[in-house]
Protein backbone atom coordinates (compact mmCIF):
# COMPACT_ATOMS: atom_id res chain seq x y z
CA UNK A 1 0.00 0.00 0.00
CA UNK A 2 1.50 3.35 -1.04
CA UNK A 3 1.55 6.26 1.37
CA UNK A 4 3.31 9.62 1.73
CA UNK A 5 4.62 10.04 5.31
CA UNK A 6 4.89 13.64 6.57
CA UNK A 7 8.50 12.94 7.60
CA UNK A 8 9.69 12.39 4.01
CA UNK A 9 6.91 13.94 1.91
CA UNK A 10 7.58 11.21 -0.67
CA UNK A 11 5.25 8.49 -1.91
CA UNK A 12 6.60 5.30 -0.37
CA UNK A 13 5.71 1.64 -0.36
CA UNK A 14 7.30 -0.42 2.40
CA UNK A 15 6.40 -3.53 4.38
CA UNK A 16 7.07 -1.51 7.55
CA UNK A 17 4.99 1.56 6.67
CA UNK A 18 1.61 0.08 5.74
CA UNK A 19 2.41 -3.66 5.67
CA UNK A 20 0.72 -5.68 2.95
CA UNK A 21 1.15 -9.08 1.26
CA UNK A 22 3.70 -11.70 2.27
CA UNK A 23 6.42 -9.12 2.96
CA UNK A 24 4.01 -7.28 5.21
CA UNK A 25 3.26 -10.43 7.20
CA UNK A 26 6.99 -11.16 7.55
CA UNK A 27 7.56 -7.59 8.70
CA UNK A 28 4.74 -8.07 11.22
CA UNK A 29 6.46 -11.15 12.69
CA UNK A 30 9.69 -9.20 13.01
CA UNK A 31 7.88 -6.33 14.75
CA UNK A 32 6.32 -8.78 17.23
CA UNK A 33 9.77 -10.06 18.12
CA UNK A 34 11.67 -6.78 18.08
CA UNK A 35 9.32 -4.11 19.33
CA UNK A 36 9.46 -4.39 23.11
CA UNK A 37 6.32 -2.94 24.56
CA UNK A 38 7.01 -3.48 28.30
CA UNK A 39 8.22 0.04 28.99
CA UNK A 40 5.35 1.58 27.03
CA UNK A 41 2.79 -0.46 28.97
CA UNK A 42 4.46 0.53 32.26
CA UNK A 43 4.55 4.22 31.31
CA UNK A 44 0.91 4.13 30.26
CA UNK A 45 -0.06 2.62 33.63
CA UNK A 46 -3.59 1.57 32.67
CA UNK A 47 -6.01 1.73 35.61
CA UNK A 48 -9.00 -0.52 36.24
CA UNK A 49 -11.83 0.01 33.80
CA UNK A 50 -9.99 2.48 31.56
CA UNK A 51 -10.75 2.65 27.83
CA UNK A 52 -7.57 2.49 25.76
CA UNK A 53 -6.98 3.09 22.05
CA UNK A 54 -3.83 2.14 20.13
CA UNK A 55 -3.15 3.92 16.84
CA UNK A 56 -1.15 1.76 14.40
CA UNK A 57 -1.32 -1.53 16.34
CA UNK A 58 0.62 -3.50 13.67
CA UNK A 59 0.76 -7.22 14.50
CA UNK A 60 -0.79 -6.58 17.92
CA UNK A 61 2.04 -6.89 20.46
CA UNK A 62 0.90 -3.92 22.54
CA UNK A 63 -2.86 -4.49 22.26
CA UNK A 64 -2.24 -8.05 23.48
CA UNK A 65 -0.40 -6.67 26.51
CA UNK A 66 -3.11 -4.09 27.11
CA UNK A 67 -5.82 -6.77 27.21
CA UNK A 68 -3.87 -8.27 30.14
CA UNK A 69 -4.12 -5.02 32.14
CA UNK A 70 -7.24 -4.09 34.12
CA UNK A 71 -8.43 -1.97 31.14
CA UNK A 72 -12.19 -2.02 30.63
CA UNK A 73 -11.94 -1.76 26.85
CA UNK A 74 -8.98 -2.07 24.45
CA UNK A 75 -9.42 -0.77 20.91
CA UNK A 76 -7.15 -0.12 17.96
CA UNK A 77 -6.99 1.31 14.45
CA UNK A 78 -4.52 0.49 11.70
CA UNK A 79 -4.84 0.92 7.91
CA UNK A 80 -3.37 -2.51 7.06
CA UNK A 81 -5.78 -5.45 6.63
CA UNK A 82 -2.79 -7.84 6.98
CA UNK A 83 -1.86 -6.32 10.34
CA UNK A 84 -5.47 -6.47 11.48
CA UNK A 85 -5.62 -10.19 10.64
CA UNK A 86 -2.43 -10.83 12.67
CA UNK A 87 -3.45 -8.63 15.58
CA UNK A 88 -6.91 -10.19 15.88
CA UNK A 89 -5.20 -13.58 16.37
CA UNK A 90 -2.86 -12.22 19.03
CA UNK A 91 -5.41 -10.11 20.87
CA UNK A 92 -8.86 -11.64 20.33
CA UNK A 93 -10.34 -9.60 23.18
CA UNK A 94 -9.42 -6.26 21.63
CA UNK A 95 -11.72 -4.30 19.32
CA UNK A 96 -9.50 -3.81 16.27
CA UNK A 97 -10.63 -1.73 13.34
CA UNK A 98 -9.23 -0.60 10.03
CA UNK A 99 -8.65 3.15 10.10
CA UNK A 100 -5.93 5.73 10.44
CA UNK A 101 -4.57 8.24 12.90
CA UNK A 102 -6.46 11.00 11.09
CA UNK A 103 -9.72 9.05 10.94
CA UNK A 104 -10.13 6.53 13.74
CA UNK A 105 -13.89 6.21 13.43
CA UNK A 106 -14.30 6.48 17.22
CA UNK A 107 -16.37 9.06 19.06
CA UNK A 108 -15.43 12.30 20.81
CA UNK A 109 -13.71 11.80 24.21
CA UNK A 110 -14.25 8.03 23.98
CA UNK A 111 -10.87 7.07 25.54
CA UNK A 112 -9.00 7.54 28.81
CA UNK A 113 -5.66 6.69 27.14
CA UNK A 114 -4.49 6.88 23.54
CA UNK A 115 -1.14 5.36 22.59
CA UNK A 116 0.88 5.06 19.39
CA UNK A 117 4.22 3.26 19.03
CA UNK A 118 6.45 3.44 15.95
CA UNK A 119 3.66 4.84 13.82
CA UNK A 120 3.66 8.65 14.14
CA UNK A 121 6.41 9.22 11.55
CA UNK A 122 4.41 7.22 8.98
CA UNK A 123 1.23 9.28 9.11
CA UNK A 124 0.58 11.32 5.94
CA UNK A 125 -0.29 14.38 8.05
CA UNK A 126 1.01 14.90 11.59
CA UNK A 127 -1.42 17.74 12.38
CA UNK A 128 -4.56 15.81 11.33
CA UNK A 129 -3.41 12.81 13.36
CA UNK A 130 -2.79 14.91 16.48
CA UNK A 131 -6.18 16.66 16.05
CA UNK A 132 -7.86 13.26 15.96
CA UNK A 133 -5.94 12.03 19.03
CA UNK A 134 -7.15 15.06 20.93
CA UNK A 135 -10.73 14.59 19.74
CA UNK A 136 -10.99 10.96 20.93
CA UNK A 137 -9.22 11.56 24.27
CA UNK A 138 -11.44 12.58 27.19
CA UNK A 139 -10.57 15.77 29.10
CA UNK A 140 -7.92 14.74 31.64
CA UNK A 141 -7.08 11.63 29.59
CA UNK A 142 -3.53 10.60 28.68
CA UNK A 143 -1.69 10.35 25.38
CA UNK A 144 1.59 8.55 24.68
CA UNK A 145 3.43 8.74 21.36
CA UNK A 146 6.67 6.81 20.93
CA UNK A 147 9.11 6.38 18.05
CA UNK A 148 12.37 4.50 17.47
CA UNK A 149 15.20 6.09 19.46
CA UNK A 150 15.85 6.06 23.17
CA UNK A 151 19.04 5.43 25.13
CA UNK A 152 20.09 2.18 23.41
CA UNK A 153 18.32 1.78 20.08
CA UNK A 154 19.04 -1.63 18.52
CA UNK A 155 21.37 -1.44 15.53
CA UNK A 156 18.65 -2.41 12.99
CA UNK A 157 16.35 0.38 14.21
CA UNK A 158 18.95 3.19 14.30
CA UNK A 159 18.23 4.20 10.72
CA UNK A 160 14.59 4.86 11.65
CA UNK A 161 15.46 7.52 14.27
CA UNK A 162 14.01 10.94 13.52
CA UNK A 163 16.10 14.10 13.25
CA UNK A 164 15.67 16.58 16.10
CA UNK A 165 13.59 19.05 14.09
CA UNK A 166 10.99 16.35 13.36
CA UNK A 167 10.89 15.21 17.00
CA UNK A 168 10.38 18.87 17.90
CA UNK A 169 7.44 19.05 15.47
CA UNK A 170 5.80 16.14 17.29
CA UNK A 171 6.48 17.76 20.68
CA UNK A 172 5.30 21.23 19.57
CA UNK A 173 2.17 19.73 17.97
CA UNK A 174 1.37 18.00 21.25
CA UNK A 175 1.99 21.21 23.23
CA UNK A 176 -0.51 23.10 21.06
CA UNK A 177 -3.23 20.56 21.89
CA UNK A 178 -2.38 19.00 25.28
CA UNK A 179 -0.96 19.87 28.71
CA UNK A 180 2.02 18.45 30.65
CA UNK A 181 3.93 17.35 27.54
CA UNK A 182 7.03 15.41 28.61
CA UNK A 183 9.73 13.79 26.50
CA UNK A 184 11.43 10.66 27.83
CA UNK A 185 14.23 8.51 26.45
CA UNK A 186 13.21 4.90 27.10
CA UNK A 187 15.61 2.06 26.29
CA UNK A 188 14.68 1.76 22.61
CA UNK A 189 12.10 4.50 22.13
CA UNK A 190 11.75 8.25 22.43
CA UNK A 191 8.37 8.76 24.10
CA UNK A 192 6.16 11.81 24.56
CA UNK A 193 3.44 11.77 27.18
CA UNK A 194 0.73 14.40 27.55
CA UNK A 195 -2.61 15.05 29.23
CA UNK A 196 -5.69 16.48 27.57
C1 LIG B 1 6.34 -0.16 12.14
S2 LIG B 1 4.68 -0.68 12.40
C3 LIG B 1 4.54 -0.63 14.19
C4 LIG B 1 3.47 -1.52 14.71
C5 LIG B 1 3.30 -1.58 16.23
N6 LIG B 1 2.83 -0.34 16.78
C7 LIG B 1 4.58 -1.99 16.89
O8 LIG B 1 5.18 -1.19 17.62
O9 LIG B 1 4.99 -3.14 16.71
C10 LIG B 1 3.75 0.73 11.89
C11 LIG B 1 2.26 0.52 11.89
O12 LIG B 1 1.63 1.80 11.68
C13 LIG B 1 0.59 1.62 10.77
N14 LIG B 1 0.27 2.88 10.07
C15 LIG B 1 0.80 3.36 8.91
N16 LIG B 1 0.21 4.52 8.58
C17 LIG B 1 -0.70 4.79 9.55
C18 LIG B 1 -1.64 5.83 9.77
N19 LIG B 1 -1.75 6.85 8.91
N20 LIG B 1 -2.43 5.78 10.86
C21 LIG B 1 -2.31 4.76 11.75
N22 LIG B 1 -1.44 3.73 11.59
C23 LIG B 1 -0.64 3.74 10.52
C24 LIG B 1 1.06 0.53 9.82
O25 LIG B 1 0.01 -0.10 9.13
C26 LIG B 1 1.80 -0.40 10.78
O27 LIG B 1 0.97 -1.40 11.29
How does pLDDT run across 65-117, given as a tens digit for each residue? 999 999 999 999 999 999 999 999 999 999 999 999 999 999 999 999 999 99
- Structural domains in the chain, CATH included, are 21-195 (3.40.50.150)
Q: Please tell me the distance from the alpha carbon of residue 67 to that of residue 73, in angstroms, as a whole number.
A: 8
Q: What tens digit of pLDDT does each residue of 24-49 get?
A: 888 888 888 877 789 999 999 999 99
Cβ neighbourhood burial of 89 (10 Å; 0-12, 13-18, 19+):
exposed
Q: What confidence score (pLDDT) does residue 9 get?
A: 87
Judge whether 124 and 5 are in contact, CB under 8 Å. yes
Q: What confidence score (pLDDT) does residue 97 get?
A: 98
Q: What confidence score (pLDDT) does residue 156 get?
A: 84
Count the Cβ atoms, other than its own, within 10 Å of residue 1.
15
Which residues have a Cβ under 8 Å from the Cβ of 119 and sit 6 or more positions away?
55, 56, 58, 101
Q: Phi-psi bin for 76: left (phi > 0), alpha (psi -120 to 50), beta?
A: beta
Evaluate the CA torsion angle 15, 190, 132, 173 in order and state its sign. Answer: negative
How far, in Å, from the CA of 66 to the mean position of ligand 1? 17
Q: Which residues pair with 189 in a beta bridge?
A: 148
**Do you know the residue count of the chain?**
196
Give the pTM.
0.95
Q: Which residues line ligand 1 (CB under 6 A)?
A: 3, 16-19, 31, 35, 55-58, 61, 78-80, 83, 100-101, 117-119, 122-124
Q: Is the pLDDT of residue 15 over 80?
A: no
Q: What confidence score (pLDDT) does residue 13 get?
A: 79
Count the Cβ atoms, other than its own, within 10 Å of residue 150.
19
Among 78, 187, 188, residue to substitute to test ligand 1 (most atoms within 8 Å of Cβ): 78
Reference 37, options 21, 58, 17, 10; nearest CA is: 58
Q: What DSSP string runs through 107-130? A: PTT-EEEEEEES-GGG-S-HHHHH
Q: Phi-psi bin for 105: left (phi > 0), alpha (psi -120 to 50), beta?
A: left
How far, in Å, from the CA of 123 to the mean position of ligand 1? 8
Atom of ligand 1 nearest to the CA of 37: 8
Q: Whose CA is nearest to atom 22 of ligand 1?
A: 56
Q: What tens digit of pLDDT does each residue of 51-66 get?
A: 999 999 999 999 999 9
Q: What tens digit of pLDDT does each residue of 140-170 get?
A: 999 999 999 999 988 888 889 999 999 999 9
Amino acid sequence: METRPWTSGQATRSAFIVPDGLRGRLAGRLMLRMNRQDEVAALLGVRPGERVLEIGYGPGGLVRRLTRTPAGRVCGVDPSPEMRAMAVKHAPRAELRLGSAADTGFGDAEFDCVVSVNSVALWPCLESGLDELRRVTRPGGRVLIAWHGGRRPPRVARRFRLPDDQLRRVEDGLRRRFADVTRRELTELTAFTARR
